[in-house]
Amino acid sequence: RSLNMDFENQDKEKDNSSTAGSFNGNSTNNSIQTIDSTQALFLPIGASVSLLVMFFFFDSVQVVFTICTAVLATIAFAFLLLPMCQYLTRPCSPQNKISFGCCGRFTAAELLSFSLSVMLVLIWVLTGHWLLMDALAMGLCVAMIAFVRLPSLKVSCLLLSGLLIYDVFWVSVCNVMVKVATQPADNPLDVLSRKLHLGPNVGRDVPRLSLPGKLVFPSSTGSHFSMLGIGDIVMPGLLLCFVLRYDNYKKQANSDSCGAPGPGNISGRMQKVSYFHCTLIGYFVGLLTATVASRIHRAAQPALLYLVPFTLLPLLTMAYLKGDLRRMWSEPFHSKSSSSRFLEV
């Protein structure tokens, strides 16, 4: 009997450790992509090439880009809905996986979350409503933050500094990014009806789509929308995840060694301030400053011009004062497996 219970417990652990981000049964930790220094340096260059392709060849690639964005948004939002679906289906269905042949094996929660995500994307394609676009954009943000990791402060500085230059150049100097972000794309249903000659009234009343590469916020009068790119959320979000993991690592190291709180010239109150809260407050202040600047200048502002200094500079200053700058800059660190799972994001 004890042997059977051991096998049952092992099966439960396997089911509980099944991925929340991929539907092929692989572990989430195995799907995490860690950015190195080379990737951090070349990411702004790759983003610039993609932006130029969208700017000069938008009419040719808009339908393909819309379909790819819809597919990615479906997968990302399914990942976002999966914990809720697991909670809802746990009392009424076992966690056994259903086989779909070469497509893989899926639990009832994964099927439910994917179905809801497909439904949401279809409604967005049919209506083009900005609220649904924002929901899909938030799903993309959460998925990107969950599956990408910054390993050190050096890589963080390289990545954010390069993207700051990229953002300033393409927003303020060339004004390319704003034109690409605000340009609506043809609805795939409209294109399909024209290609198949389904008639003048079939698929022609669907709206053009504003792609979910940004969050939009309507004004109080509804006459215009404010816009925030998902890169302005994801890149500082990766930095926040990095400092959250470091706070957890330092807390574990201090509890194990029972060492001194820090250098003698640092007050105990300063030691109690976490890097996460410092960076989060900096992000809030930077975003507020960017919003005020856009109101004053009545023009689009490169958000990273404000977000990067307000997050990195306080973080670097606090790390130097606490004596953690050398370790955070280049040394790898790993939290113990006993830590909370959300700290591993």
Q: So what's the pLDDT on residue 172?
A: 82
Q: Which residue has the higher pLDDT, 174 or 145?
A: 145
pLDDT in tens, 199-251: 555 555 788 888 888 888 887 666 677 888 899 999 999 999 999 999 998 88
Residues in CB range of 104: below 8 A, 6 or more apart: 23, 24, 25
**What are the pLDDT digits (tens) for 19-69?**
333 334 344 455 788 999 999 999 999 999 999 998 898 888 888 888 898
Q: pLDDT band for 337, please (50, 70, 90 cuts).
A: very low
- Residue-wise burial string across 101-135, b where 16 or more C-beta atoms lie within 10 A, e elsewhere: eeeeebbbbbbbbbebbeebbeebbeebebebbbb
Return the structure tokens found at 39: 């990737």
Given the residues 232, 247, 256, 324, select the one marked as catalytic: 232
**Does 309 score more than 60 pLDDT?**
yes
Nearest 5°: the CA angle 114, 118, 123 is 150
Q: Pick the catalytic residue from 11, 36, 134, 167.
A: 167
Please report the pLDDT score of residue 334 as a whole number: 56
How does strand 105-106 pair with strand 98-99?
antiparallel
pLDDT at 271 over 80: no
CA dihedral sign, ordered 145, 151, 153, 157: negative
6 catalytic? Reply is: no
247 is catalytic: no
pLDDT for 235 equals 94
Split at pLDDT 50, 70, 90, the class of 340 is: very low
Q: Would you state the pLDDT for residue 19?
A: 38
- CA–chain centroid gap for 136, Å, is 11
Q: Name the percent of the chain lying above pLDDT 90.
A: 37
